[in-house]
Amino acid sequence: MKKITLKCKFGKIKGLIWGKGNPKKILALHGWLDNAASFCELAPMLANIGYEVVAIDFAGHGKSDHRAKGHFTHFIDFVLDIQDVIKELKWDKLTLLGHSMGAAMAHMYTVSHTESIEKLIMIENLGPVPSYAPGSIAENLKEALDQWKNHTTKHKHFYPTVHIALKTRLKVTPMNEDYLRPMVKRGLKKTSKGYHWRTDKRLRLRSMIRFSEEVVQDALSSIKPPTQLIVATPTTYALKYPTIEERKTKLAADDYVEINGHHHLHMDNAKQVFEAIKRFITE
């Protein structure tokens, strides 16, 4: 595993790379508030079968730069990060692998660039959630504006040690702590007051405008390369919303896989996830 830095239009994107120089390429995209180290279990296995795997920290995550001061963090803007990263990597053909939010962004990029994406692998996500609910625009916008008006980027909570920060994250991301530790360490910054999360605090603010369910399903049904959908069973919180079955139908994945585990099954069930991906990308 090596570190990588890519210069994008907004700033620097940091990441990790496995299997550098291997002929086949995979760009791995993490979930909301996670970072590139979430692929530390899965990526080496993919490198061992001939893939160069680059996992990036999206803007405001991990060690990548944050968006400019005073700017809002729209989730769809992460698609711009993907476009810049692929350009900087100079990859003509690649497989996109995304978990959770990363899967949604991978799909959005793929349907607009089907000629350059060989295969799409989505783990635990079928598009942006929650979608816009008719009749909620005024209330949602007011809440978003109120949050923006009162938000601060100053850190108020600090952890005395990495271990305590790890234990705190384990409460919301339950798994073997050895699998979670790399992601937690990458997500922390040490200061004279202790450790705080590097993550851009603006990422927690309510979105001012949401995609409608119609728009999400339109994107899901768009022309795309061979697509694999991997989900945890029993169904996790990430996929418990009313339109999930409709979205699955619209996506019409070429390969659908259920694996026992939690939302971060690519970390604590990496071997099973790898076997499913290996079958899909080598068939």
Place of tokens 């007051």: 193
Catalytic residue, from 100, 131, 136, 192: name it: 100
> Read out DSSP for 189-258?
EEETTEEEE-S-GGGGSPPSS--BHHHHHHHHTS--SSEEEEEEESPPGGG-STTHHHHHHHH--SEEEE
Crossing angle of the two packed helices 213-220 and 244-251, in degrees rounded to 10: 30
Identify the burial level of 134 via C-beta atoms within 10 angstroms of its C-beta, where 0-12 means exposed, 13-18 middle and 19 or more buried: exposed
Q: How many CB atoms sit inside 10 A of residue 158's CB?
A: 16
Cα atoms found within 13 Å of the Cα of residue 212, Cβ hemisphere only:
7
Cα(134)–Cα(172) distance, rounded to whole angstroms?
31
The span from the CA of 97 to the CA of 94, in Å, is 10
What distance in Å separates the CA atoms of residue 65 and residue 61, rounded to the nearest whole number? 8
Cα–Cα nearest to 216, from 79, 107, 115, 134: 107
In the structure encoding, which two tokens stand for residue 147, read together? 């949050």
Question: Is 64 part of the annotated catalytic residue set?
Answer: no
Quick one: CA torsion of 256, 257, 261, 264, rounded to 10 degrees? -60
- The span from the CA of 263 to the CA of 125, in Å, is 10
Question: Which positions are annotated as active-site residues?
Answer: 100
